[in-house]
Amino acid sequence: MEAQRDNVVSIHYVLRDDQGEIIDQSAEGQPLSYLHGHDNIVPGLEKAIEGHGEGDEVKTTVDPEEGYGPYREELVQKVNREAFQGVDELAPGMSFRAESDAGPMVVTVKEVEGEEVTVDGNHVLAGQTLDFTVSIAGVREASDTEKEHGHVHDEHTHAE
């Protein structure tokens, strides 16, 4: 069976930056399973996997536009320390869920200067070219429930 819309695809992957350094990888013996064609992985990787089957290895370079998007300066802003009520210590690198005009998003603290906090709403990999090496561990037909919900269900997933 080949990876196509409404199939559950299980992959082992290694993600490297453009200097060849490993950024992320699937855990040993624990492939990542996703519902193909439902925007559950970056578009460029999904396109590269399309049509491949169990046992295939796929190597692809994904540009920012097909990955996590370009880095957008307008998503970096300064906010008052008051926005972090209940947080005693703020430090660069900390991430928080925030509400924006476009809905919920994750922001990362970039700098803390007195009462002013600089946050960045870009994905940590925005603007980066991504090099993936993927081994397809399996492909199966998705259940009706998985198709309806738009994601994979397994023994650890909710039964909605």
Output the tens digit of pLDDT for each of the chain's 160 residues: 999 999 999 999 999 988 899 999 999 999 999 999 999 999 999 999 999 999 999 999 999 999 999 999 999 999 999 989 888 899 999 999 888 777 888 999 999 999 999 999 999 899 999 999 999 999 999 999 999 999 998 754 444 4
Overall size of the chain counted in residues:
160
Instruction: Please give the pLDDT value at position 155.
Output: 54
From residue 32, alpha-carbon distances to 9, 50, 76, 79 in Å are 8, 16, 31, 36
- Count of beta carbons in the 10 Å neighbourhood of residue 8: 21
The pTM is what? Answer: 0.81
Rounded Cα distance between 8 and 41, Å, is: 12
Domains and CATH numbers, the chain: 7-68+126-149 (3.10.50.40), 73-120 (2.40.10.330)
Q: Is the distance from CB of 119 to CB of 72 less than 8 angstroms?
A: no
Let me know the angle formed at the C-alpha of 110 by 132 and 19, rounded to the nearest 5 degrees. Answer: 25
Is 136 in contact with 3 (CB distance < 8 Å)? yes
> Could you give the C-alpha distances from 48 to 33, 37, 62, 95, 136, in angstroms and in order?
16, 12, 9, 31, 12
The amino acid at residue 51 is G
H or E stretch covering 145: helix 144-149
Supply φ then ψ for residue 153, to 5 degrees.
Answer: -115, 140
Asked if 64 and 127 touch (Cβ cutoff 8 Å), the reply is yes
Tokens 């002013």 found at: 116
Report the chain's terminal Cα–Cα distance, integer Å.
27
